Each structure stands twice: as C-alpha cells, then as structure tokens.
Structure 1
Amino acid sequence: MSQSQPTEVDTETDADSERESFTGQGLPRVEDHRILTGRAEYIHDITPENCLHMALVRSMHAHAEIVGIDASEAEAHPGCELVLTGEDLRGEYNPMPTGIETVTTDDGEEAPIEEWSLAADTVRFVGEPVAAVVATNRYVAEDAADLVDVEYESREAVADGMAAREDEVVVHESVGTNVVDHERLEFGDPAAAFDEADHVVEGEYSWGRISGVPLETAGVVAQYDEEADAFDIDCNIQLHTLVDETIYETLGYDADDVRVNVPADVGGSYGTKIAIHRYCCLAAMASQQLERPVKFEEDRVENLQGGDMHCSERDYRMRMAVDDDGTMCGLDVWFVDDFGAFPRYPVNQVLKPLSVLTNSYVIDDVSYEYDLVLTNKTSQTAYRGFGVDPHIYALEMIVDDAAREIGMDPTEFRRRNLIRPEQMPYTLPSKNLYDSGDYPATLDRIQEIVDEERDGGLLDPEIVEAKREEGKYRGVQPSVIIEPGVSGSDWTDRQRSDREDLEERPREEVDELPEHLRATVGEDGTITAFLATDSSGQGHQTLVSQLLADELEVLPSDIEVDYLDSVDAPTEYGSAASRMAVMLSGATVGVAEKLVRNLEAIAADHWDVSADEVTYHDGVVERVSTSETLLLADLAAIDADGDDHRRSVSYNYDHPATELEEFDEALAQKLPVYPTAAFGANAPIVEVDVETGEVEILTFYTVRDCGTMLNPMIVDGQAHGGIAQGVGAALLEEFGYEENGQPQAITLFDYLLPSIENVPKIEMEHTETPSPFTETGAKGVGEGGMIDAPASIATSINDALEPLGLEAPADRIPVAPDHLRKKIRDRER
C-alpha cells in the first residue's frame, strides 16, 4: 500500500487561496474509460477501404550472402499484388538512417554503415527482412511469402559482444571492424585516486538483452496520395515528431510530404517502438507502387525475433578505489555494449549513464569508457531506463564487493558516501546536476522498515535460521537509486560530433527542443488542448486536463486533450526520458497565461475599455467597474467574428536547463543533461532456494521521491509497473543467442515475462522534495522502477547468500536459477 509521508519542504497552499487544486490529486485517468470500455482505437482498428496487407520474408540465417531471390511463384499466387525485394528499392529510395553513419577505417577512409529496409546483398541477423509481399489480406500475403524462394550462401556469424571486438568475423566487411564507436572520458584525476587508495576492488558483471515486449506490437497503415505526391502514415511509432526523419528521409521526401499520425492510445512502447521505421517505410513504398492503402502488423514472433526492439546487452569491468575508513575515492567504468547488426537510433544510451555517473555517492575522480560493438543479432533500441539500469546495477555490485573487501557493513558503507542535502544542487563529475533530495534520510527510513521486519517479521533471526535449515536463504540490502529525468536533445548527437572540438564549443551553439502545446476555446466554452507528442499510456491527457483546469480555473471535465500529427506539430523531443510531466507542466502554465491574456483582450475590445479594466477568473472575464462578465462561450463567439482568432494560442516551453548557467559546461560539451533527479531507497526481501537456485521476492519495500506529485495515482502506477518490469529483468527475461546467432527466445514460452506469480507485494511510501528547476517542482518518474529494481534485487541476493561465502552470486542479469546453482556447486567443490 502506498503511503504519503510528510513533505521535506513547505508545500502548503497559499492561505489566501480558496480554490482547491486539481493538481496533486489522484484523479482517475481520463484515458481509462475508453480503454476499459473497448472504445480506444489502435492501429489494429484502422483499415481503410480497399486496403491491402503486407507480410515479410525474413532471413533464417544470422549471416549470409543473398545469392538470388525467385518471387515468380509468389507473384503468380491469386491475391498477390506486389513483391518487393532489396534490389527494387535501390533505384527509387534511400537507405535508412543509422545512429553511426560512417566509421573511419584503418587506412583513414570513411566507410558508411548502410541499412536498407530490405536486405539485398547480405543478411546480418535472423529475422532481417529480404522481401515484402502485398496481397488482398494478411493470410494470402503470408501464403505468398512462403512461395518466395531465397538462395543463401551461409557465412560464419559472431554473436558475442566481447568476441566481436577481435574482428575475426566482421559484420560489415566494408567497415573492417565490429567496434564502431569508442570513447574514454576522465573526470578529476582517477589515476591518482587509484594510486593513493588503500584498496582497489575489481568486479565483472553482465547485463543480458531484455525488452519491454509491449502488448501491442508494431503496426502501420500507409496511404500514398498520387495527386499531392505525399504520404499519410498511421502508425504506433514513439517520438513521431523527432524520429519521423527516419521515414521521410528513407522515402526521399520532405518532412511536410510525409504526415505521420499516432493514435491517442498505443498498447505500450517503453522506448521499443522508436525504431519501427522499417515497417513504416515498406508499407509506404508498397502503397506508392500500388496506389492503394497498405497495412502491416507485426506478429509476436516477428517482434521478439527481428523487431529491432532489444535493449542494452553489456559486459562490465569495474574498479573502485576505497580507503580503510570507507571513503569511495575513485571509480573506473569500462563496458562493451552489443548493439546487434546495426547501430540504430539511438546510440546515445551508452552516454546517458553519465547523468548518474556515481549514482547517489560522492566520488570525485572517475573514468568512463565503452566499446560499442556490432554482432549478428537484431538491432537494439531504447528501453525504459535507456542504458542507465545496467550502469546502476554494475555500480551497486561493485559497492557491495568493496564493502566486503574492507569488512564494512554494505549499508553503512553506502551511508558514509551518500550525497548530503546541504550539497544540493549537486554537480556530478560528469557535469550533470542533481536538483534536490535528502538521500541519507531516505536510506534511514528504508532501514527502519527493514529493522521492523527483523522483529518477528520476515527477517526475524529465528525465522531466517529455520528457513536456512530448509535450504532457503533470506536477505535484503537497502540502497539509494537515482532516476535522471527530463533529457534535452542537444547532447544526443555527441557520437556524430567532432569530440575534440567540444571542449571549446561556445554555449551559444546549444539548441534545445521545447515542448509545444496548443489550446483553443470552443463555441460551447470548452477548451481543447493539443499535444505535440505521442503517448504510450503515461496519462498525458489526464495531467494536462488537471494542470490546465487549475490555470484557467475551470473543471477538468471542461477540457479535452487531443494530439497533433508530425506535419502539424513542430519537431520536439517527445515522450521519453522521464520528461513529460515536467515539460507539460511548463507548457500548460505558459499556454494558459497566453490564453488568459488573449481572452482579456477580446473582452476589453468588446467593451471598448483598457486591458487593466478587465480581469479573468473562474472561467469568465469580468469588467471590474460594472461586474459584467463574459463566459468562455461568449468570448469564443465574439472572437469568431474577427480575423485574428485570439481564442486559439500555442506556446513553446523551453527545457528547464536551457537558461540555467549551472548546466552550461555539460550543455556545451554535449554531456547528458537531465535537470531532475528523482530518487528512492529500495529494500526487496528475497528468499533463495539453494537446492534449485530459484529466487522469490517476499516483499518489495520502496520509499520514492519524484518531487511534486502531479497525480499520485499515476505516480504509483508508473512506479509499480516499472518495478514489475525490473523484477522480470532481474530474474526472468533474456533474449539469449546461440553461438551461430540463432535466437533462443522467439515466443513467450521462451521469453519469460513477470506475472502475478512472481511480482511481489510492493510496499511503497512517498516523500516530496520539489525540484527548484521546474515549473511545478515535479521530477521525472517514468523510468524509475526499471532503473532501480534490478540492482536492488541483485544486491539483496548477494546478501542472502553471503553466509555461503559466494563471490558476487548475482554478477549477471538475469540472475537465473541455473546461474545460482552453478555458483553454489562451484563453491561446494
């Protein structure tokens, strides 16, 4: 059960205000009614008249040359309208943009990394499309696709990221290497810190491929308009105004000629649908060829096997310099990130961990280095946490190992090194800032909860001892975890920048994307707001209706919230990176202020009085001298007779860090800037069966702080969902591959998702430390549970098995039963 704790700062409402605020209340989500009553429209529900359907022919080889493709039987199949191959695309269209477009070869030449919507010469992962078949319906399309005969010449594959660094098998021969990006950053003087420290602790940790596996897979309906020479594309791509270039550039058109529309309801994404542009392009190409609408819906096997939706897969080598008194002196991070066959958008997830480089600890001297490698696997993309979750996991593991190295209780070791509230705002070595928070108090509170369980509860010494006699070991390790929020956009092309020039880059060159919001007063006096970003179920419509209701002093029920497509909306970052609650707060305040000024101006002109003789309140404009009022409907009717339509306004809210000089250095050098730092302390109590290696989470305790909670119900939902995904990541999920690149998890029988059987009881408390950098004090909250739960579960497993003397038993994610059993067997030998 969630509980609200006393706030850590004064957040009382102004005594003079008599209006109850809707913001901060757990109002039911306006989205839920249409979803629960079956009225929500998904891509599956969109089928235009005369629509054709597409199926894809996919490679079953991880690495092979395409010798030839014979589509004659498919083309002769009744109902088949078109077969497209990679060769068909070369003359009319472009390759798809990649996150790293060129690599400098050993001879100094720039070799491009090209990815086409359909492979023509070489296939580089199982599931890569080699042909698209369009037919009267999906069943016919699938039947015809089976008739396409592709002749391959198999080649050796590489499926291990560490092995790929040796370049014995090269995924892209023209590039000559599998290591397509590398960077080492140093902050402070890490070499001196390690030389002078009393202890240097080393650890190796692995994070396996996982993903969000959304309920609704990728889908697209494309229609080409020959007369306008333009495309209308309905799809469930995420960040549709930011990544639409991956569609229109591939098609070879201008942005205004390719209208991308995302429905209000999408069956989940978590970042995984950012990279579905291949499907959008192929459906659009087929529609252009046939001059009919074309629809494609990815099935579950396609999604899991070759949907370009896997997340980070990393091998870490970490070192920590520690003194005898428990001071963390230095940190050295090195990892290999396996990106699959192509460095897709976005590659910058290897950099985002810099925004929480030292987690909640004071460590001044740090080095951070990575190798971004390619292998014969489906490409990875963003996933909830965006690369921070494996970093936090590996860091918390080395903290555990360091505490045991110096013989200190891991909780006390953490406490001694926590950033303290008087240090806020705190500048990390990597130049990002933490805005506010009391980390020691949060750790103290979670420790109080754990101590209560030691007195007759789950961790009572007698109960723990009795369980051990049954072969079941219980443990818990509290930890404090940070969730960076509200990313900007300027730093996200660091890999494509000349990094040597960044040290001298002037601050004036930084250009951040604002959040766009529109609002208009309708003839009936209701207000419609238009979001420029798409939603993946975060409750944006609810938040805007609450915020705007407060600003305009009307009811949330008087406000409708809709979405803009990619042509009508300006380019903006969109719904990602724990961003929208903060950005929508600022945009809503700004658009409301602008609308109020316009409504007062309409009334002043109508009454022929000066602006200071009218005032807006409670959804009306009042003439001060006479107390006459005009309702919103009256003002809309008056404005309808004019030419300037002042009842419709738009507003662009700038990223919170844009004008803050504290972020100047990070912004100028294209280092990750996340101006809010939500935080929490976790204490999952786990029980490990040493006979089977199975792990059960008995209770997941957590104390969380995301600044001002705009809607506590939504905050709870985001946190519970994130923790559930974190449980899956820690214990169940993994896209494993055989040595020859064949995927091992292409159905939900193989890829194990958490359910009511293994998502534990979550006991959640909240504190509130508003951010000084944001309009409402809110911080990002969308990625927290996934960022912090795996690390907390792993360290609790370490604690549970400490009596056995195992060395870092949870040194890989997922911590699968066979992994733990092997650790136990090795010790017994």
Structure 2
Amino acid sequence: MSEAGVSKDVGVEDDAESEGQSFVGSGLERVEDHRILTGEAEYIHDIAPEGAVHMALARSVHPHAELVDVDTSAAEDHPDCLLTLTADDLKDDYEPMPCGLEGFEEWSLADDRVRFVGEPVVAVVASDRYAAEDLVDLVEIEYEQLDPVTDVQEATEGDTLVHEHAGTNVPDSETLEFGAVDDAFENADNVVETDCEWGRISGVPLETAGVVAQYDTDHDSFHIDSNIQLHTLVDDTVYEPLDYPPEKVNLEVPPDVGGSFGTKIAIHRYCTLSAIASQQLDGTPVKFVEDRVENLQGGDMHCSDREYTVRLAFDDDGTIQGLDTYFADDFGAFPHYPVNQVLKPLSAVTNAYDIDAVRYGYDLVLTNKTAQTAYRGFGVDPHLYALETAVDEAARELGIDPTDFRRVNLIQPDQMPYRLPTHNIYDSGDYPAALDRIEELVDEAEVCEGGLLDPDVVEAKREEGKYRGVSYSVHIEPGVSGSDWTDRQRTETDALEEREREDVDELPEHFRIQLEGDGTVRAFLATDTSGQGHQTLVSQLLADSLGVLPSDIEVDYLPSVEAPTEYGSAASRMAVMLSGATEGAAEKLRENCRQLAAEEVFGCGVEDVAYRDGAVERVDGSERVPLAELADLDAGRNQRLTRVSYDYDHPATKIDDFDEALTSKYPVYPTAAFAANAPIVEVDVTTGEVEILKFYTLRDCGTMLNPTIVEGQAHGGIAQGVGAALMEEFQYDGEGQPKAITLFDYLLPSTKNMPDIEMEHTETPSPFTETGAKGTGEGGMLDAPASVASAITAALEDFDVVADQIPMTPHRVRRRVRDAQADD
C-alpha cells in the first residue's frame, strides 16, 4: 500500500507521489463549507414545492392513558382544514411501523392508548403551518389516565405495564459469559462493586427533523425528501408502513443536513404520515418540520438511560482478573433499536485493558418515556464511563495511583492485533505510549510553577473551597460496524450454531465515478451525509489517485431508488468504507483508461501504457492522451470504460480471525481508534460547580485522511462529551412529565463552559483497511464523559466522593460532598 493509499499496478504511477505531494493527509478545507457559508446550501426546510401544504400534530399530554374519544369534527369544519388523520384512518390501507423486537406494534399515530408525553395522536393538514397549528387546538381528545411507570426498578418489579400484551416491562434480557468468570472472582485478591448511573441524553441537532412528501397519482409511487439518516438502510421503516414495495418509494436526503449523530434515524413516523397525507390529498405535496419542543419532548431521539453495577476482580499487584458488568437500560415506550444498542459495547468491552474473563448482562426495560434511538457512541459511552468508574474504585481500594493501576492493565503493542474475549479485534495501537505521552504533556505544562496543577496553586485554591484534579486514561473507539450483525442478533441461538462463514452477508460501500467531456471527474455517493465532509474526502482521494486537482472533481449523490442498499454514515465507518470504495473505483478507472488508450489510440498492448499525471501515455513517453480526449473516445460507446462503479467490501469479511464473531451474535468492529485524555477540573465544593480548566487529549485514528476534518470531529465530540458529563439530561418527574422540553431546560455546552483543548495526534495505521484509516466519527463523545467523571473523582478524593452519576450537575456534586462531610 502506498503512502497515498494507491495500489501500485503495472503501468500505474501515482501523480501525487511523483511530485512528492499528496492531497490525502493534508488539511484541505471542506468543499462543502463554501455553499454553507454563502447561504447556497439547501436544507430540508428550504424544499418548498409549488402548492405544498403543511402538517401539524396533536400530541398526547399524558404519559399513559386510554384514548376514550378523538373528536376531529371542529377542525374538519374549519375552512382551512384540508385533512385530518387518526390511527383508525390508517388501518385499512397502511401498516404499523417496524419495531425492534418481535411482538410489539406501533402505528404512526397512537392507537387506543398513548404511552408517552408527546406521542402523536392526530395529524392535521392545512395550507400553512400556522393554520395547521391552530387547527390542532380544535381537536378534542378524551383520555382515561392510567398510572405511568418512569422508574426502571419500578418498571421491573411493579404491576404497571407499558404494553399489557407483553406481560412484562423487560421484553429482552441476557447474560453472556466469556472465559472463566467465576474462577477469576473466586481466586482474585480483591473484588470491588460499583453502582453508577448514566442519564438520558441526545444529540439535539441544529436542524430538527423534516420531510416533504408527494404522492405520484400517475405512477402510484411516492417521492419523499427528508433529512432521515441512513436513508438506504432504514428505508424499510418508511415503505413498510406505507405498504408499498421499495421501488415505489423514492427517499432522498439533501446534500446538507444540519446534524444528526444518529438522532434522525428514527424519524420515519414523519415520513410515513406526510406521504399518507399526500396520497389522501391526491398528490398534493405535504411538508412537516418539527419545532424544538416537539424534537425534545417526543421526537423519538433520546438515547441511553442506564443504571450500572460493575464488579472488578483484581490482585494486589493491580492486575485485573475479571470484569462483571450489568445494566438496566430504560428504553422508553417502544423498543426501536434495542439489541444493537445494548450489545455494541461488546466490541470494546474491556476498553484498553487486557482482561480475559468477562460477564456482560443487561435488562432492556420499557417505561412511559419517549423511545430511544441511536446517538453518537450508541451505548459504548456509558459502558466506558461505568468501567472507568470501577477502575478508579479499584485503585482507591488498593491505595495506589489510578494511572499506575491503568498502566498495569493496558494491552501492549506486541499483542496487536488484539482479540477481545468477546471475539472482536483491535487492529493496532500503542496504548502505554499514549498514556505516557498524555501524562508527559500535562507534567511539562501544568505541574510546574504557575501551572494549573502547581502544588502551591492547588493548595491555595483548596483554601478557597476549590479542589482541582486530573485523571489520565485511554479509551477505545470501535469503528466500521457491519450490517449483518443486526440479522445475527435476531437469529435464534440454535440457528446461529449452524451458521457458516459463507452465510455472512455484509453490505459493501457503493461508489461511482465517470469522466466528463472537459476532462473533469464526476463522482456519486450512495450514502447520505450529516456534515462529516464526505465530498471533501472523496475529492482528496480521487485527486491523488487520478492525478488531478480536487477542483476538477464534482461529488454528487445517488437517489435512493437508484442507489443500492447501504449501511450509510454511522458507527464510525465512512472514513474506512468510503475511502476503500473511492480507491477501488479510481484503480478501476485508471485501468480502463489504459485499456481504452491501448485499443483506440496507440494500437498496442495494455502493458505498454501507463497512467500518469491525469493522463495516459506510452511507457516510452512518445505519446500522451489527456482525460478529456479519452472521455470523447468513449462517449459513442455509452462510456463503457470511462464510467465505473465499485463496491468495497467490509474489511472484516476478508479476515479469518473474525470468523467466530461473524457467525455469532457478537458485534464486529474491525478498527480501534483510541484517545488518551487528561482533563483538568476544578470543583467548587461550596456550590458544586465543576469547571474544566483545560482538556488534554492525544488521539489516534490511524491514517488521518484530512487532519482538519479529524480535528473538527474530535472537538465537536468532546463538546458533546462535556455536555453529557456536566449538564445535559432528559429528566422526567414521577408523573411521567418531561422536564426538559426547551433549551432553557435541556442545557447544552457553549463557548462559556467549553474548556481550551490541547490536542495532539499520533498515527498507527490499521492493517485491515485500504488506506490505514480508522473510524473517528464517535470519538470525543465516547471518551470525554468517562474522562471528566474520573477527573472529578480525583479532585474530590479527600471527601471520598465518586462521580457516580452522569451528568454530574452542581446539585449532585454538592449533595455528595455534603453527605461526605456529614459522615465525617
């Protein structure tokens, strides 16, 4: 593999290397930014077909109630009303939405019973959104209130059922064991048990969910523009409720989406309702865009809400012998993406530690809250937080420095690739060196005169009631999930035992390129984007591989009907999958150009033709043909050679060591990016306020294809992680009413509480991927909460206070300090 990631074939020379330069690895400014900053970007809110009408939703004000009567007559009598829809209107011609577990049925509008505040009950359509909102107020809904259940323990042990037919509020639970767990705990010198909680948070993207749907009466089909994430993968959540085949439902996503982080995967309810409304209105386009209250309250976009018990078995020298982790996850009213979310942590179950014996158990619990969906990290972030909290407790039990305890247990570089007991594999990395380096950075800059951790400064601050602390830790970011895993999770255990490697059916990444008549290159992505810079990445890769300038490359998107089913931009996978597909397509185009020139221009064998500097030439240098001429030559043959497509296979499918995981229900994530963090915090014990004075981080995502994009991803992820650690939470009161339905209640980090970030990078290329890149889309959010919580625990060591709840808000910190002082 070359430095630029180009496979060297006979007769192929990389233009970028020939000049000693490469666009890959440089901080090329994002090509997407120009249209965004100049106002030329088109978001879903900007799509407004002529004659479009608007939908609004009447939502439940109760967390749990029977629908006694739904009266839409007053709204229907109003001259502005074009249509009303209830669940009864859907049942004759449409289907329920898919659910993540068998036996659960969820209609796009509440049917007979509401199960969370904000659940849509009636859809109303009018000529504009203002009129539709007014008509919603005319809808009369009579409820018979039922007792809600909002506490996990109450849901597990009590009599109130969210779904009576299920007979339980725990529809899925499992305990998995790897290695001799009982022996490890019986024979270890020490065992600690830690309880901690991870609060319900989410991504809260700048752009809320939106959709514009139009039914085509002539072709009996739908065209739906939406900012849904993974539109070719989750399109079944739209066409199945419509009861139409996929080829009849064209789902498109604008090139620009104002953030998602997973939270827009589950907005199919809006797509379905808008499409149904358009069909009922004989093809009139119907538009719906969430307002912020709808998004926060009932937008199907909350994420993990967990209570953990973690046990560690370890010897007196600090060596961890066993890990036993259990959690109850509050999934809200419906299980949308349950098994994926509770099992993904198996891909990094021991974090950066070498632990052979692992027990992993969970209860998936239903309550009268908004349903969960995916969010950046998808369950790994709370697991890392819980594990690191237990590690701090173990170090405290032994009376040794937590950093030394961590260092003793780190996976060593000579163990790479490292096979976890859960059968996933870490591809590459030097974790001890990363920990040493982050500690060195802080020591040099802060543990010195005038530094943040100058002992004299620390002591003076303590006299003011402000306690400073730092924690050094290493965190793994598993990347590049596969699609086959979802099928395996839903397969019965007996059937899995008979599964062979050839039964694995992964979705490749599809990519197309073609030469234009002016010599430029046009590329087509099959996957939607949410601001990750995919167009820039493709431009860099193709520029190096084809020997042209990034400005000579235009990157577009395939419509969903034309694009094959793709996994899409999630699970830290696109840097690997898209770069692999781009490199493969570029190599194929180079070979085709050599063949075309050999046959149509030079009249020689292909071996006598080289591709060099954005053109083809005879090996002896006597003749040369530019790309534009090749495009003209091929135009009469329908671009048989100058238009190519390529499917890049998931890298794990080519590695025998993944066989056991790929034939079982365990997640496969073949890249392991990592971060070593050292946030320095200051805790005011009189107010409970926590300030992150500076956040030191060393990060490694293998080959950095674009350092600017990598840094942006990391800074954004750390910002989300800081919010999760200190302020963000969707709380509910005991009656099931949400307490965070505006941004005055759901607090987000801003420039006022974001610390300075000192970031350094190392590169340990992945041996499993085409370019050496690893996924890095979930970093920061995965590791920052655990790191900040650990630093808070370090700062409050004198009080024997543990940061055992996320977020560690001021009142929670103050309560724990006050309780500790009372005990003394």
| TM-score band, normalised by shorter chain | over 0.9
How far the C-alpha of 1:183 sits from its partner, in A, is 1.2
RMSD: 1.3
How far the C-alpha of 1:15 sits from its partner, in A, is 12
How far the C-alpha of 1:77 sits from its partner, in A, is 1.4
Matches of 2:176 and 2:581 in 1, distance apart?
Answer: 35
Q: Which residue of 2 aligns with 1:362?
A: 354
| 1:594-673 → structure 2 map (5 Å cutoff) | 594-607=588-601, 608-624=603-619, 627-643=622-638, 645-673=640-668
2:142 to 151, 156, 159: 151
2:250 to 242, 259, 267: 259
Q: Which residue of 1 aligns with 2:35?
A: 34
> Is the 1:346–1:382 Cα contact (8 Å) retained in structure 2?
no
Asked if residue 694 in structure 1 is aligned to residue 685 in structure 2, the reply is: no
Q: Which residue of 2 aligns with 1:562?
A: 556
Matches of 1:237 and 1:557 in 2, distance apart?
Answer: 29
1:813 to 791, 806, 821: 806
Write the letter of the residue equivalent to 1:389. Answer: D
- In structure 2, the CA distance between the partners of 1:590 and 1:816, relative to structure 1 (3 Å rule), is same
SS in 2 for 1:762: strand
Tell me the alpha carbon deviations over residues 180-208 of structure 1, each in whole angstroms, 9 at most, x when there is no partner: 11111100010110011111100101000
> Is the 1:600–1:611 Cα contact (8 Å) retained in structure 2?
yes
How far the C-alpha of 1:449 sits from its partner, in A, is 2.0
1:532 to 526, 536, 541: 526
> Is the 1:490–1:670 Cα contact (8 Å) retained in structure 2?
no
> Is the 2:15–2:546 Cα contact (8 Å) retained in structure 1?
no
Matches of 2:459 and 2:17 in 1, distance apart?
Answer: 59
Matches of 2:434 and 2:17 in 1, distance apart?
Answer: 33
Q: Which residue of 2 aligns with 1:412?
A: 404
2:124 to 104, 108, 133: 133
How far the C-alpha of 1:564 sits from its partner, in A, is 1.2
Asked if residue 53 in structure 1 is aligned to residue 54 in structure 2, the reply is: yes
Matches of 2:187 and 2:442 in 1, distance apart?
Answer: 36
Write the letter of the residue equivalent to 1:530. Answer: F
Matches of 1:367 and 1:220 in 2, distance apart?
Answer: 43
Matches of 2:608 and 2:440 in 1, distance apart?
Answer: 58
Asked if residue 717 in structure 1 is aligned to residue 718 in structure 2, the reply is: no
Asked if residue 238 in structure 1 is aligned to residue 203 in structure 2, the reply is: no
SS in 2 for 1:658: helix
How far the C-alpha of 1:825 sits from its partner, in A, is 1.3
Matches of 1:133 and 1:811 in 2, distance apart?
Answer: 45
SS in 2 for 1:134: strand
Matches of 1:18 and 1:142 in 2, distance apart?
Answer: 62
> Is the 1:688–1:797 Cα contact (8 Å) retained in structure 2?
yes
How far the C-alpha of 1:14 sits from its partner, in A, is 12
Matches of 1:702 and 1:251 in 2, distance apart?
Answer: 48
Aligned length: 805
Q: Which residue of 2 aligns with 1:81?
A: 82
Q: TM-score, normalised by structure 1?
A: 0.96
Q: Which residue of 2 aligns with 1:192?
A: 183
| 1:475-490 → structure 2 map (5 Å cutoff) | 475-490=469-484
> Is the 1:275–1:345 Cα contact (8 Å) retained in structure 2?
no
Tell me the alpha carbon deviations over residues 683-728 of structure 1, each in whole angstroms, 9 at most, x when there is no partner: 0000000000000000000011111100000000000000000000
2:761 to 760, 766, 790: 766
Matches of 2:101 and 2:274 in 1, distance apart?
Answer: 25
How far the C-alpha of 1:227 sits from its partner, in A, is 0.9
Matches of 1:451 and 1:79 in 2, distance apart?
Answer: 68
Asked if residue 332 in structure 1 is aligned to residue 324 in structure 2, the reply is: yes
SS in 2 for 1:785: coil
SS in 2 for 1:742: coil
Matches of 1:641 and 1:503 in 2, distance apart?
Answer: 54
Matches of 1:768 and 1:438 in 2, distance apart?
Answer: 10
* Structure 1: segments with no counterpart, 5+ residues: 1-12, 102-111
Q: Which residue of 1 aligns with 2:4?
A: none
- In structure 2, the CA distance between the partners of 1:14 and 1:148, relative to structure 1 (3 Å rule), is closer
Q: TM-score, normalised by structure 2?
A: 0.96
SS in 2 for 1:589: helix
How far the C-alpha of 1:412 sits from its partner, in A, is 0.3
Tell me the alpha carbon deviations over residues 251-297 of structure 1, each in whole angstroms, 9 at most, x when there is no partner: 00111110010011000000000000000000000000002000000
2:286 to 294, 297, 309: 294
Matches of 1:370 and 1:723 in 2, distance apart?
Answer: 27
How far the C-alpha of 1:609 sits from its partner, in A, is 3.2
Q: Which residue of 2 aligns with 1:824?
A: 817
> Is the 1:100–1:495 Cα contact (8 Å) retained in structure 2?
no
> Is the 1:639–1:647 Cα contact (8 Å) retained in structure 2?
yes
How far the C-alpha of 1:492 sits from its partner, in A, is 2.1
Write the letter of the residue equivalent to 1:288. Answer: Q
> Is the 1:491–1:671 Cα contact (8 Å) retained in structure 2?
yes
Asked if residue 285 in structure 1 is aligned to residue 276 in structure 2, the reply is: yes
Q: Which residue of 2 aligns with 1:109?
A: none
SS in 2 for 1:787: coil
How far the C-alpha of 1:630 sits from its partner, in A, is 2.1
SS in 2 for 1:286: helix
SS in 1 for 2:336: coil
Matches of 2:396 and 2:497 in 1, distance apart?
Answer: 39
SS in 2 for 1:38: coil
Q: Which residue of 1 aligns with 2:5?
A: none
Matches of 1:411 and 1:719 in 2, distance apart?
Answer: 23
Which range moved further: 763-772 or 70-79?
Answer: 70-79
Matches of 1:361 and 1:503 in 2, distance apart?
Answer: 29
1:576 to 567, 570, 576: 570
How far the C-alpha of 1:79 sits from its partner, in A, is 1.7
Asked if residue 744 in structure 1 is aligned to residue 728 in structure 2, the reply is: no
1:513 to 500, 507, 528: 507
Write the letter of the residue equivalent to 2:378. Answer: F
> Is the 1:348–1:493 Cα contact (8 Å) retained in structure 2?
no
Write the letter of the residue equivalent to 2:810. Answer: P
Q: Which residue of 2 aligns with 1:448?
A: 440
> Is the 2:465–2:685 Cα contact (8 Å) retained in structure 1?
yes
SS in 1 for 2:436: helix
Which range moved further: 17-26 or 227-236?
Answer: 17-26
Matches of 1:96 and 1:53 in 2, distance apart?
Answer: 22
Matches of 1:257 and 1:669 in 2, distance apart?
Answer: 35
SS in 1 for 2:782: helix
Matches of 1:564 and 1:680 in 2, distance apart?
Answer: 35
- In structure 2, the CA distance between the partners of 1:577 and 1:626, relative to structure 1 (3 Å rule), is closer
Matches of 1:222 and 1:415 in 2, distance apart?
Answer: 55
Matches of 1:434 and 1:321 in 2, distance apart?
Answer: 23
How far the C-alpha of 1:85 sits from its partner, in A, is 0.5
Asked if residue 674 in structure 1 is aligned to residue 665 in structure 2, the reply is: no
> Is the 1:167–1:178 Cα contact (8 Å) retained in structure 2?
no
- In structure 2, the CA distance between the partners of 1:413 and 1:74, relative to structure 1 (3 Å rule), is same
Q: Which residue of 2 aligns with 1:5?
A: none
Tell me the alpha carbon deviations over residues 126-171 of structure 1, each in whole angstroms, 9 at most, x when there is no partner: 0000010011000010011110111111000101122211141100
How far the C-alpha of 1:635 sits from its partner, in A, is 1.3
Q: Which residue of 1 aligns with 2:192?
A: 201
How far the C-alpha of 1:583 sits from its partner, in A, is 0.7
> Is the 2:15–2:613 Cα contact (8 Å) retained in structure 1?
no
- In structure 2, the CA distance between the partners of 1:625 and 1:778, relative to structure 1 (3 Å rule), is closer
Matches of 1:542 and 1:64 in 2, distance apart?
Answer: 50
